[in-house]
């Protein structure tokens, strides 16, 4: 029966349960990533810990194809292109390097989101294609290569040791000659359904959906939701008064790496959106902000890694009157880029040299720079202007500039190229931004422990909040506006170490608490099923930090259109779990009223069905059926042939025997007469 089959399988195979595959992504013109054949790819394991070990795989080894177990320190462009150029390799398993490679590692592009920002042949051609500044010099572009064999990341050091032990026992070459059978082999399954490009896969999916009752979709657009809120409530179903000016603060909340759903993004995303959240809290707590002449909008964009999905969609919606705000309402724009790796506490203010040639924009930008610089007085942050010498770094602000000249500043820790040596990689973790805890702390103590990084990011948040207060027309002294390092600490712990912590548990709705239990370390990949965990958490953290607790019952909170004293169009209401009651195991839930909302982050290219667009992002992710990895012992070809031959002989013999027995059945199985029976 099935139980018996499972038991035989368990005796033959050792499954590898903690792996992350490289999957196929597609855009308007290319396919990138990896895949296996439809039945998985198998090869004899060879461990490569230094470059000389590659010779055995590429030239000398007598048992190709090989499955290479590659040390993380060798996972680079040079080695992968060597392996890509041979038929002697059937797949690759990568062991994570510990510590992170000191020379840096970024599988992203040297010029991220090139072609989708503001600079082009028509706008600042001297700055297009990173002509002036190469933003990500360590970028190898590996994430944008196409590999025709599977590549998996081994996340569990114990599983890596099991594979190495199997290799030591069976596969190590003896005195220069090949090892004896049986050999240790690995099989990787990661067959992808989509091919060629987004244009091809979306057309196929569309034809299937039109003519088939049971359509087989082969790829899905990368999509999610942007999170946004305002300082003063606005009518979400109407339009903001054209005369009302709004200061837009923005940051991205997604990251990426070579492997699917491995995107820690500590410096590339988390440092900036945590700072943004802390600034929003500090500004909301300041007295008198509800009566400021200008409003402030806090915006968190999803999918920015993939050619600005979130920001291009918001701009599109504003232009098409599908959003409460119009582009003409935007007074100025402040974006928080990578901010955790500052040298001597310096924060750089990047502006667009092209739009600054316009006199009125130039005046407004200078006012913006001056306000930001003044706001750093007394804080341990020095703001410096990059000046006219270079363009904006890759940023959401560029998508707004494509639509309209808006005065704006992008704040970052780098003047020219990124300080982040692990941009869009699996090594962009809390160690990269120097988050350190004393030993021996319990999870609860770690959550509350204020690290130096948290203090440093809280100082940046303080400067931003003070500047926003002044830009919105606040005339009072701003020294009381202060971001809370404790809040920043909790957020860093929750977004980089463990989502399932007491604070996150207390601020989310009961019906989505399952998102906290899925995995310990949060990943910030945009994905195709939405909203992803990051979006939910940013939404509820922002509501917790900027909203107010209102005295409504669960019924009233869940149906805010019913009570006479609620304003459904101005506010969102959420019934959250609340903290644990100290005297029991139950929670004390409550209703939070905030201005936090979600808006679609799906590229306009898919709305317009322009799958070959060069104006908007066209990234899709292939579908797949089965992703798994396992190791087992493989016999020699000779033994396999002998086993097959013996099996065929036994089969033929049994068929002949069955035929003979069947033909002579009446003789062999005749029933003798009963001698006692006499016929009269």
Cα 534 to Cα 226: distance, rounded to the nearest angstrom: 11
519, pLDDT greater than 70: no
Tokens 């060798």 identify what position? 74
79, pLDDT greater than 80: yes
| Whether residues 152 and 245 fall in one domain | no
Distance from the Cα of residue 273 to its chain's centroid: 14
Residues 6+ apart with CB under 8 A from 191: 35, 36, 37, 38, 39, 40, 624, 625, 626
Q: What is the pLDDT of residue 282?
A: 97
| Whether residues 328 and 476 fall in one domain | yes
Residues in the chain, how many?
680
Q: What is the pLDDT of residue 1?
A: 47
CA atoms within 13 A on the CB side of 80: 25
Count: domains in the chain: 2
Cα 251 to Cα 396: distance, rounded to the nearest angstrom: 7
pTM, 2 dp: 0.93
| Whether residues 148 and 240 fall in one domain | no
Cα 516 to Cα 511: distance, rounded to the nearest angstrom: 11
CATH classification at residue 536: 3.40.630
Asked whether residue 397 is domain-assigned, the answer is yes
| Whether residues 150 and 229 fall in one domain | no
Residues 6+ apart with CB under 8 A from 77: 140, 141, 142
186, pLDDT greater than 70: yes
| Whether residues 315 and 230 fall in one domain | yes
| Whether residues 97 and 164 fall in one domain | yes
Asked whether residue 27 is domain-assigned, the answer is yes
Residues 6+ apart with CB under 8 A from 575: 509, 510, 554, 557, 558, 589, 590, 591
Q: How confident is the model at residue 99 (pLDDT cuts 50, 70, 90)?
A: very high
On average, the pLDDT of the chain sits at 93
In this structure, what token pair is assigned to residue 605?
Answer: 């290219």
4, pLDDT greater than 60: no
Asked if residue 266 lies in contact with residue 433, where contact means CB atoms within 8 angstroms, the answer is yes
What average pLDDT does range 394-416 have in this prediction? 97
CB neighbourhood size of 181 (10 A): 16
Query: 194-211: per-residue pLDDT in tens?
Result: 999 999 999 999 998 888
Q: Which pairs with CB-CB distance under 8 Å and at least 24 residues apart come from 551-555?
A: 551/591, 552/591, 553/591, 554/589, 554/591
| Whether residues 227 and 187 fall in one domain | no
| Whether residues 276 and 353 fall in one domain | yes
Asked whether residue 203 is domain-assigned, the answer is no
Q: What is the pLDDT of residue 421?
A: 97
| Whether residues 253 and 361 fall in one domain | yes
Asked whether residue 647 is domain-assigned, the answer is no
Query: 527-579: per-residue pLDDT in tens?
Result: 888 789 999 999 999 999 999 999 999 999 988 877 666 677 899 999 999 99
Q: What is the pLDDT of residue 679?
A: 52
Query: 630-676: per-residue pLDDT in tens?
Result: 999 998 778 778 988 999 999 999 999 998 888 888 887 877 666 66
Q: What is the pLDDT of residue 160?
A: 97
| Whether residues 346 and 297 fall in one domain | yes
164 lies in which domain range? Answer: 13-105+140-192+627-638
| Whether residues 166 and 238 fall in one domain | no
CATH classification at residue 156: 3.50.30
Asked whether residue 334 is domain-assigned, the answer is yes
- Judged by phi (left if over 0) then psi (alpha if -120 to 50, else beta), residue 331 lies in alpha
| Whether residues 69 and 184 fall in one domain | yes
Angle at 370 between CA 369 and CA 376, to 5 degrees: 95
């Amino acid at each position: 029966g099935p139980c018996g089959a499972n038991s035989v399988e368990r005796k033959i195979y050792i499954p590898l349960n903690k792996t992350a595959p490289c999957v196929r992504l597609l855009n308007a013109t290319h396919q990138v990533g990896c895949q296996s054949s439809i039945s998985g790819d198998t090869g004899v394991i060879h461990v490569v810990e230094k470059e000389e070990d590659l010779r055995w795989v590429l030239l000398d080894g007598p048992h190709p194809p090989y499955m290479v177990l590659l040390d993380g320190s060798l996972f680079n462009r040079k080695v992968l292109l060597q392996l890509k150029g041979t038929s002697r390799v059937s797949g690759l398993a990568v062991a994570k390097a510990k510590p992170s490679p000191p020379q840096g590692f970024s599988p992203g592009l040297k010029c991220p989101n090139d072609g989708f920002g503001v600079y082009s042949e028509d706008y600042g051609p001297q700055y297009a294609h990173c002509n002036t500044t190469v933003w990500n010099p360590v970028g190898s572009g590996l994430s944008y290569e196409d590999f025709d064999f599977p590549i998996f990341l081994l996340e569990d050091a114990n599983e890596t040791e099991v594979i190495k032990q199997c290799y030591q026992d069976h596969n190590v070459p003896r005195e220069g000659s090949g090892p004896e059978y049986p050999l240790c082999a690995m099989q990787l399954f990661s067959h992808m359904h989509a091919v060629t490009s987004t244009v091809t896969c979306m057309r196929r999916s569309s034809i299937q959906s039109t003519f088939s009752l049971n359509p087989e979709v082969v790829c899905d657009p990368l999509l999610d939701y942007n999170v946004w809120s305002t300082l003063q409530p606005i009518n979400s179903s109407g339009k903001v008064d054209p005369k009302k000016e709004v200061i837009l603060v923005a940051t991205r909340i997604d990251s990426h790496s070579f492997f699917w759903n491995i995107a820690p993004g500590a410096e590339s995303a988390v440092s900036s959106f945590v700072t943004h959240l802390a600034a929003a809290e500090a500004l909301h707590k300041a007295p008198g902000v509800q009566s400021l002449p200008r409003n402030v909008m806090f915006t968190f964009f999803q999918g920015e890694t993939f050619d600005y999905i979130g920001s291009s969609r918001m701009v599109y919606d504003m232009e098409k009157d599908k959003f409460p705000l119009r582009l003409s309402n935007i007074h100025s724009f402040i974006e928080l880029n990578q901010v955790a790796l500052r040298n001597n506490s310096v924060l750089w203010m990047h502006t667009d040299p092209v739009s600054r040639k316009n006199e009125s924009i130039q005046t407004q930008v200078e006012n913006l720079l001056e306000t930001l610089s003044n706001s750093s007085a007394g804080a341990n942050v020095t703001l410096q202007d990059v000046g006219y010498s270079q363009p904006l770094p890759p940023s959401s602000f560029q998508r707004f500039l494509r639509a309209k000249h808006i005065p704006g500043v992008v704040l970052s820790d780098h003047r020219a190229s990124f300080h982040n040596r692990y941009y869009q990689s699996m090594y962009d973790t809390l160690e990269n931004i120097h988050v350190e805890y004393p030993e021996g702390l319990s999870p609860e103590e770690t959550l509350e422990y204020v690290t130096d990084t948290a203090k440093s990011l809280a100082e940046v948040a303080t400067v931003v909040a003070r500047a926003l207060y002044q830009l919105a027309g606040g005339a009072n002294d701003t020294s009381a506006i202060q971001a809370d390092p404790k809040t920043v600490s909790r957020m860093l712990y929750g977004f980089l170490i463990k989502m399932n912590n007491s604070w996150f548990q207390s601020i989310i709705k009961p019906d989505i608490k399952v998102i906290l239990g899925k995995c310990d370390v949060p990943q910030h990949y945009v994905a195709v099923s939405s909203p992803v965990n990051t979006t939910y958490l940013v939404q509820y953290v922002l509501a917790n930090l900027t909203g107010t607790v209102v005295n409504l019952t669960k019924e009233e909170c869940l149906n805010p259109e019913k009570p006479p004293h609620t304003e459904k169009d101005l506010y969102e209401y959420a019934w959250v779990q609340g903290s644990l009651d100290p005297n029991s195991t139950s929670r004390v839930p409550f209703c939070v009223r905030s201005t936090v909302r979600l808006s679609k982050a799906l590229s306009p290219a898919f709305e317009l069905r322009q799958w070959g667009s060069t104006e908007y992002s066209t990234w899709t992710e292939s579908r797949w059926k089965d992703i798994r990895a396992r190791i087992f012992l493989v016999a020699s070809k000779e033994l396999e042939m002998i086993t097959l031959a013996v099996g065929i002989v036994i089969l033929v013999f049994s068929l002949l025997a069955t035929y003979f027995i069947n033909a002579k059945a009446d003789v062999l199985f005749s029933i003798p007469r009963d001698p006692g029976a006499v016929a009269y």
